[in-house]
Structure 1
Amino acid sequence: MAEKECTQKNTRDVIKTMTFILFLTLFMFYCMGNETKDDYDCRQLENSSVALKNQTVILDEKAFKNGFTVWDDNCRIPNVSAFDDSVKKFVKKEKSPKCSSLPSVTSVILDVKSWTYTLKINKFYQNKADLNISCCYSSIHRKYLKSKRSFNDDDRYTIEPSCHPIKNSEIIPKTVEFMVVNCKIRSLKNPSKSTTRRNIHAMVIDKQLNRFSNLNGTSKPSVLIIAIDSLSRLNLIRSMPKTYEVLENNGFLSLEGYTKVADNTFPNVIPILSGMFVEQMIKTCWKSPKIEMDQCPFLWKNFKESGYVTTYVEDQSGMSTYNYNKYGFRNAPTDYYLRPFMVASEKLLPITKFNAMNFCVGSTPIAEHIYHYIEDFVSLHKDHGYFAVFWLNTFSHNDVNAPSSMDQKTAEMLTKLLTRNQLNNAVTFLLSDHGMRFGEILETYVGWLEERMPALYMRLPPGYTAKYPERRQNFLVNKNRLTSPFDLHLTLKNFLSEDEPLTAIGCITCHSLLRPVSVNRTCELAGIESHWCTCDAYEELDNNSSVSMTISQHVVTELNARTIKYKMNIKKGFMCSKLKLHSLISIRHKVNRPSEYLVVLETLPGHGKFSVTVKKINDTHFGVPGDVSRINMYGSQSSCTTDWNLIKICYCVRINELKP
């Protein structure tokens, strides 16, 4: 509905503009052919017409922007409202769950000048006259790697056997990067009654790294990437209004035509950080999910070679980008790497769940641990070159409304960094990998659009903008043009190097966003396959037509064919159940290419819902050329496989449970 209204509105605007231009042209011919005493009046009216024409252009531009985020000969993406009527029923504000009825037992405070941390026991416990509290800490390290390789190598950590007693406030040795604190709380009224409380802390320690100065970021600026998983631009506006306001009011620029190139997190992050599709990465440096990715050309290596301090942090160990059904890294990929801290915290502290995600460890939301770490890291490196990526999953991955639970804290964290002028040397990004991939909102056109169009905001350092004003202007021009993760990859490389040619293996036609993107760009030229492309208008078809049912049955046949193709990757004793069509939810075809269809259907067993792009080959044959989308959660239905070709399609059954 939103797309149709936008198209009709734009058509009316075009007709008005063409009528005005025709009138103006005829009038100019009249003036040129009548050199009389009326010439002055003609020139006056001509001048007025030019002024009116300029005004009309501005009004038409405004109307065009209101109607579409991207509008050119090859791509037209409607500018739908974040609060479109079709999604209102799915929208609500979420409150963050309460982590604990008691405050954290300890905290750590950074002194930037001396680069030291002080561990403090919370006064809540100190001031209790009837309690006695005694605490000690043990450091946590990334465990020494044995010669034998294990699939869990990246999860390794060790806790030192000693527990060092502390007073109410004590400076921590500068070598302690992660630590667990154990506190015993005794009742003075009843000495036999005691409880034990734990906490865990991560410190940005001085690793004696070579650092270069970049005070104002005019050359070789730092790069700070804060990523919130599964967050579309529209859902950022809708569920994180305070964060959105901070971005809009502090010089952040958005890309409203930014479109993902694959389904989930991993295949959308790999293009950003390596410039490759996953399939290309498999051929060049990562032969199997069972082996490490240490040899792959991630951008943090380029920055490290150029003298930058590097950091990678992700907030949930079990589903992190490089470890979910994958080996991860044999050696720490960056100078600062928080995986040992995250794995330890999830094992040592009680977990509070929120939308089936680990939201709290102990008394603190996991995201707050990460935000404190960001503040400390940036404070210590505000005058030095760094490349830092912080990836957050816990409050956004599983529910379209969940980001609202951390809106206040996210806005506060960004505001602190901005008001302290700690981002003046860094190109700062707030971005995502894709929009929400699950839920009923995906059955709407707006939800379909959001899933493909993640948020991306960038802020350039003031000094960099002053030196290269045209680059900021070019990025602003690209706001309403079709862009992709490959462009972002080349933009990051552009900040690193001014001279070397910028190319991405996965998209040789992509380029840095500090240059204007082609005004008539296609999805193919941006590295976006047809299934993820949002450039085309669609027309709804009759679900009950014979063509619709034929296409639907073909989709189910194709899904079953894929489970057979990859059956060797299913655990022994299991197989994928044969899927059957339960219902056709919707079907539409592209207006400009009627032979391409978008089908949403439900299958049995398991009630899996799929969104699939289908191409007509001839009157009786259809093809599914690319990936398919699973738009409701599969949970444990696919627990018999870790193959990403199967995991969203397969409904696992034990072979001996099948009826004869």
Structure 2
Amino acid sequence: MNADTWQDSHSREYKQFRSFMGLKFGTRSKRLSLSWRRKCAVILLSGMICQMIYFFRMKHQRYLYKADTYFLPCEMPVLDPYDSIQMKNMKISKPFKCDLLHSPIYVDDENLLQFNRTVVQLFHLNPESITCTCQIIQRKVNTDKKVVYSDTFLCTPPYNIQSDFFKISCVSGEAELINTMLTNIFRPEKAFSTHTEEHYSVILFGIDSMSRNDAIRQIPRVVRYLQEELPSIDMSMYNRIGGHTFDNIIPMLTGLLANVKDIPYLNKVGTRFEILPFIWKNFSRNHYATFYAEDEKRWHTFNFRKEGFKVQPTDHYMRPFWIADYQSRPTKLLFWNKSKNSYNKRKCLSHIPEYLVQMNYLKQFINKYKDVRKFGVSHLNSLSHRNVNNLHLAEEDLIFFF
């Protein structure tokens, strides 16, 4: 075979091979050129994105919260509380319309039912003409869903109330002055340890469904008071780990996750929570006075679609009060979502809003055990659970409380 014949044969085979590989003469250079241009564009774009990320991380660290964990650094964005999208959802709620301006009756620090002399004089009342009757409210044994009432008895002030909760009705002649329920801290007969420099009292005060940014928007003066007047610590990276109150409170109070892996019987009918290692048990074993309060009978963290506690979990436990309050409401107020007027009344208990009733109960607990070690959890549900825009209505009371 001569050189020309071999070259023609080789050329034919090469053409067949390239045809088999999907390449054709005349288009190869164009396709390769287009492919390389695409690759170069992708590489260039990727480089620009990496450069932007690097620039953002190096030049804008002030917009990130950072904390080193055991394995990897954790970073969270600093969100603007006054972002325009969020501000569209912020509205000014109307104040709750409670029935009375002031109560003529109150409970002092010594468990004594007393006349509010200022109110009695304001309404030109003669204390000797006022008659009051009471009923003690107690938790029914072995259930978290029912209460029992004592027989009615005379309790005209001054009177020593030996219970945390009671109903009271006072009249002057034929005029009814008050018909409501009141709280009190009746100290049980058990030994509690006194304060020392090595042992702190602990009070957890929570407001449901309120984020850090909600607080900055809704109650800015409270936030400033905590930051400037009290030695507070802003836990800026504290975050929820579940979608519901229960999912977040269980880990906080027990160290367990709210799932069937950590709590195998969680989804079983009749689940009760006595056996969980709640942190108040630790304090109780160390002779602390203990306290748990959460408003809202229906949406209670441990009772919504659950059985709650068979045995009262803490020395002072507010659920019986809210059950009695719910039972005492007229039917039209029980279904408060039917109208705006009943909604406003549903948020009040006589002369004050519900959230303030619970805050006062916590203050009574703190005052009653002034020189004693104490652990308490007060969790406000009704104020903001359905509408965070109600928070600003409590700003003055929160500042006064703190």
TM bucket (normalised to shorter chain) is 0.7 to 0.9
Whole-angstrom CA distance in 1 between matches of 2:119 and 2:58: 70
**CA-atom RMSD, angstroms?**
3.0
Cα distance change of structure 1 residues 266 and 289 upon mapping to structure 2, 3 Å threshold: farther
Q: CA deviation at 1:284?
A: 4.3
Q: CA deviation at 1:96?
A: 2.7
Structure 1 counterpart SS, 2:144: helix
Cα distance change of structure 1 residues 252 and 157 upon mapping to structure 2, 3 Å threshold: same
Give the structure 2 partner of residue 571 of structure 1. Answer: none
Give the structure 2 partner of residue 181 of structure 1. Answer: 168
Pick from 392, 396, 399 the counterpart of residue 408 of structure 1. 396
Give the structure 2 partner of residue 246 of structure 1. Answer: 225
Contact 2:295 2:358 in 1 (8 A): yes
Structure 1 counterpart SS, 2:259: helix
Give the structure 2 partner of residue 379 of structure 1. Answer: 367
Aligned: 1:331 with 2:311: yes
Give the structure 2 partner of residue 159 of structure 1. Answer: 149
Give the structure 1 partner of residue 133 of structure 2. Answer: 136
Give the structure 2 partner of residue 119 of structure 1. Answer: 114
Aligned-residue identity in percent: 24
Stretches of structure 2 lacking an aligned partner (at least 5 in a row): 1-49
Whole-angstrom CA distance in 2 between matches of 1:256 and 1:15: 21
- Whichever residue aligns with residue 118 of structure 1, its letter is L
Pick from 227, 230, 239 the counterpart of residue 259 of structure 1. 239
Pick from 281, 297, 319 the counterpart of residue 317 of structure 1. 297
Whole-angstrom CA distance in 2 between matches of 1:305 and 1:226: 22
Residues 277-312 of structure 1: CA deviation (Å, up to 9, x unaligned): 222477445462423222222111122122221111
- Whichever residue aligns with residue 64 of structure 1, its letter is Q
Contact 1:312 1:390 in 2 (8 A): yes
Whole-angstrom CA distance in 2 between matches of 1:255 and 1:128: 48
Whole-angstrom CA distance in 2 between matches of 1:74 and 1:214: 39
Pick from 272, 276, 284 the counterpart of residue 304 of structure 1. 284
Aligned: 1:204 with 2:188: no
Cα distance change of structure 1 residues 15 and 404 upon mapping to structure 2, 3 Å threshold: closer
**Count of equivalent residues:** 339
Give the structure 2 partner of residue 83 of structure 1. Answer: 82
Give the structure 1 partner of residue 381 of structure 2. Answer: 393
- Whichever residue aligns with residue 232 of structure 1, its letter is S
Cα distance change of structure 1 residues 84 and 71 upon mapping to structure 2, 3 Å threshold: farther
Contact 2:167 2:179 in 1 (8 A): yes
TM score, norm. by length of structure 1: 0.47
Whole-angstrom CA distance in 1 between matches of 2:401 and 2:106: 17
- Whichever residue aligns with residue 179 of structure 2, its letter is R
Stretches of structure 1 lacking an aligned partner (at least 5 in a row): 1-6, 17-62, 146-152, 188-193, 415-660
Contact 2:100 2:350 in 1 (8 A): no
Whole-angstrom CA distance in 1 between matches of 2:125 and 2:177: 16
Aligned: 1:368 with 2:356: yes
Q: CA deviation at 1:261?
A: 1.0
Whole-angstrom CA distance in 2 between matches of 1:311 and 1:130: 37
Give the structure 2 partner of residue 230 of structure 1. Answer: 209
Cα distance change of structure 1 residues 117 and 284 upon mapping to structure 2, 3 Å threshold: farther
Contact 1:395 1:402 in 2 (8 A): yes
Contact 1:211 1:309 in 2 (8 A): yes
Whole-angstrom CA distance in 1 between matches of 2:124 and 2:57: 77
Contact 1:139 1:178 in 2 (8 A): yes
Whole-angstrom CA distance in 2 between matches of 1:374 and 1:205: 13
Whole-angstrom CA distance in 2 between matches of 1:165 and 1:171: 6
Whole-angstrom CA distance in 2 between matches of 1:262 and 1:225: 20
Cα distance change of structure 1 residues 296 and 71 upon mapping to structure 2, 3 Å threshold: closer
- Name which one, 1 or 2, has greater alpha-carbon Rg: 2
Q: CA deviation at 1:104?
A: 2.9
Structure 2 counterpart SS, 1:375: helix
Aligned: 1:340 with 2:320: yes
Matches within 5 A, 1:547-566: none
